[in-house]
Amino acid sequence: MDIISNRPQTATAPAQWFTGTAYIDGLAPSDRPSELRAYRVHFTPSARTAWHSHPCGQLLHITDGVARVQSEGGPIQEVTAGDTVRFAPGEVHWHGAAPGHFMTHIAFQMSGEDGSDASWGELVTDEEFDGPAG
């Protein structure tokens, strides 16, 4: 057993992958080779990811606030603290905080054979984000 007390400092989410302000805490230690990736992501109101997918899928557990999530071609869904969202391998999607709400989730995903855990696309437009909820 290892107890790991040190974590990297909270990082500002990269602007090429996020709209608005979000902060990322790495949770999975990186001192040994591992395919597991785990992040706690804090979103300010209306902040969201770009469209993206994960080679092995992704599991999001909402710990605080209200989130919006959408898969390509599907309706926007609002989920709240305590909800868990599962995206299938290769499923193109985005997620973020609902307007007027902060939101924090823990994201779990595995890296693919090339070591990458995400494939990033275009930023989600305001029109897409404000679209009808499902």
Question: How confident is the model over 54-81, as pLDDT tens digits?
Answer: 999 999 999 999 999 999 999 999 999 9
Residue 23, classed as helix, strand or coil, is strand
- Residue 97, pLDDT score: 98
Distances from the Cα of 42 to the Cα of 23, 66, 105, angstroms: 5, 11, 7
> What burial class does residue 101 get, using C-beta atoms within 10 Å of its C-beta: 0-12 exposed, 13-18 middle, 19+ buried?
middle
Residue 32: per-residue pLDDT: 62
pLDDT reported for residue 57: 96
pLDDT at 5: 72
Domains of the chain: 11-28+35-112 (2.60.120.10)
Give the CA distances from residue 71 to residues 31, 35, 61, 85, in Å, rounded to whole numbers and listed in that order: 33, 24, 16, 11
For the chain, residues with pLDDT lower than 50 are none
Amino acid at 48: R
